[in-house]
Amino acid sequence: MKDVYAISIDQSVLTKMKQATGHPGTIVTIPAGNIGKSQKQPTTALGKCMNWGVDVSMPDEVVTEILRIYVENVDKFQQLSPAARVITKKTVAAVEVPEARMHPAAVKFYKANKIQIGSLKTAGVIK
């Protein structure tokens, strides 16, 4: 794996960019070391949750099974990248997508498993 070098961006620049473009990302401070060993300082960036999406026509049982497998194996996703350590059973629905835009079976799964739908901020992962 190659080293990744994080570049911090001034928060006022990110704010202006968000206002000009309507980008839904959240301005975040990534703790030192979270991106990798070469990240020595906290880094200000525009965070956007990585998530999976499916069409509403996908059968409910398929959506439910995908989510069940994902939640059961979340520890394996954490091993893919230092940044993936934020993926936990508590944060799998912290994807900054409004509940109304989620597949109904996903919403049902999250609620049945007491997984909060929201963002990494509402999940308490970032400030």
Residues in the chain: 127
pLDDT at 70: 92
CB 89, CB 71: distance < 8 Å: yes
pLDDT tens, position by position, 2-31: 777 888 999 899 889 888 887 777 788 888
114 vs 33, higher pLDDT: 114
Residue 124 confidence class, pLDDT cut points 50, 70, 90: confident
Query: Which comes out higher in pLDDT, residue 67 or 52?
Result: 67
Place of tokens 């049982």: 61
Say how far residue 4 (Cα) sits from the centre of its chain. Answer: 19
> pTM to 2 decimals?
0.66
Say how many C-beta atoms besides its own lie within 10 A of residue 61's C-beta. 9
Per-domain residue ranges for the chain? 1-48, 51-127
